[in-house]
């Protein structure tokens, strides 16, 4: 009698018996890589990561008001540190999972040049960016335009997204000819997926260090701790890097 199918079934039952669920708040710029990581995480561990995407500033407000999130993947390093100081995150669990890159992007081929000179020419009606008060990529866009000396001239043409996902949508649908987005939203496997883009030099804005942390509500959840540890694995890091992030 072949015992292999029986043993394999028993193994699957053992894994599922210990499998858990974790509620995860994820910065909008990290949507695509996190969906891929969550799928691999479930295959490898049996744990299910329930993902919510949005602006880091809004997640902070929700967590402060008792939202049931157990892990936060922020778009900055300040919010996790602040939550830890306020006893809303588990001490010692925070770390930088990615360093984000800003891109000026248009859905039109050839519209954005490789030096970003389109900003100085100004032959566009609308430029999209995320709310700089709640989204670090929006703040980085403002920094960039100040450094280039074009902020005052361009500001009347802003179309502001609630978060970086909505900002990307404005540009993708043509409601804005171009906009500042996370490189990860338009980049995969070494190239811009479609349209045209300028990868903004890091010297023009404060580095976007993106930190993850186990929140207070996830302290005793094995799935929460397993997810944070999984983000440090070679498999997860390879996925993160494929979307243009630095590690």
87 and 53 co-located in one domain: yes
Specify whether the CB–CB gap between 213 and 71 falls below 8 A.
yes
**In the prediction, which pLDDT does 18 show?**
65
1 belongs to a structural domain = no
Collapsed DSSP state (helix, strand, coil) of residue 117: coil
CB neighbour list of residue 92: distance below 8 Å, 6 or more residues apart:
none
Q: Residue 25 above 60 pLDDT?
A: yes
Q: What pLDDT, on the 0 to 100 scale, is given for residue 159?
A: 97
Q: Tell me how far CA of residue 236 lies from CA of 13, 52, 73, 80, 242, in angstroms.
A: 25, 19, 14, 20, 10
Each residue's pLDDT tens digit, 120-150: 987 899 999 999 988 889 999 999 999 999 9
Q: Cα dihedral sign for 40, 42, 45, 47? A: positive
Domain that holds residue 235: 20-99+208-242
* Domain of residue 121, CATH code: 3.40.190.10
Enclosing H/E stretch for 203: none
Flag whether pLDDT at 17 surpasses 50: no
pLDDT at 6: 47
15, pLDDT greater than 80: no
Residue range 38-56, pLDDT digits in tens: 999 999 999 999 999 988 9
Residue 8 has pLDDT above 90, yes or no: no
**119 and 236, same domain (yes or no):** no
Q: How many CB atoms lie within 10 A of CB 221?
A: 19
CA distance 144 to 138: 10
Q: What pLDDT score does 19 carry?
A: 81
pLDDT at position 7 over 70: no
> Do 144 and 85 sit in the same domain of this protein?
no
Mean pLDDT, residues 204-213 = 96
For the stretch 183-208, pLDDT in tens is 999 998 778 888 999 999 999 999 99
Residues 76 and 133 in one domain: no
Residue 32 predicted with pLDDT over 70: yes
pLDDT(14) > 50: no
Q: Could you give the dihedral angle defined by the CA atoms of residues 100, 241, 30 and 203, in that order, rounded to the nearest 10 degrees?
A: 10
Residue 26 lies in a domain: yes
Q: What is the pTM of this model?
A: 0.81
Count of domains observed in the chain: 2
Same domain as 185, residue 160? yes
Rounded to 10 deg, the angle between the 31-45 and 234-242 helix axes is: 160
Contact 90, 218 (CB under 8 A): yes
175 & 148 share domain? yes
């Amino acid at each position: 009698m072949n015992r292999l199918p029986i043993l394999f079934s028993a193994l699957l039952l053992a894994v599922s018996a210990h499998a858990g669920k974790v509620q995860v708040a994820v910065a909008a710029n990290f949507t695509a890589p996190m969906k891929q990581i969550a799928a691999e995480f479930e295959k490898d561990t049996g744990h299910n990561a329930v993902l919510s995407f949005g602006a880091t500033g809004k997640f902070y407000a929700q967590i402060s008001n008792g939202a049931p999130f157990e892990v936060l993947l922020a778009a900055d390093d300040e919010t996790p540190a602040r939550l830890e100081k306020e006893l809303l995150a588990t001490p010692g669990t925070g770390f930088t999972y990615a360093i984000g890159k800003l891109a000026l992007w248009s859905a039109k081929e050839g519209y954005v040049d490789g030096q970003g000179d389109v900003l100085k020419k100004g032959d566009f009606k609308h430029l999209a960016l995320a709310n700089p008060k709640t989204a670090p990529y929006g703040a980085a866009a403002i920094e960039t335009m100040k450094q280039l000396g074009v902020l005052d001239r361009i500001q009347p043409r802003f179309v502001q997204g609630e978060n970086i996902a909505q900002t990307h949508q404005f540009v993708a649908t043509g409601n804005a000819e171009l906009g500042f987005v996370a490189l990860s939203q338009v980049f995969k496997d070494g190239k811009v997926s479609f349209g045209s883009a300028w990868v903004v030099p890091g010297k023009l804005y404060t580095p976007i260090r993106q930190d993850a942390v186990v929140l207070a509500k996830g302290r005793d959840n094995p799935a929460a701790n397993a997810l944070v540890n999984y983000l440090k694995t070679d498999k997860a890091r390879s996925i993160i890097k494929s979307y243009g992030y630095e590690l």
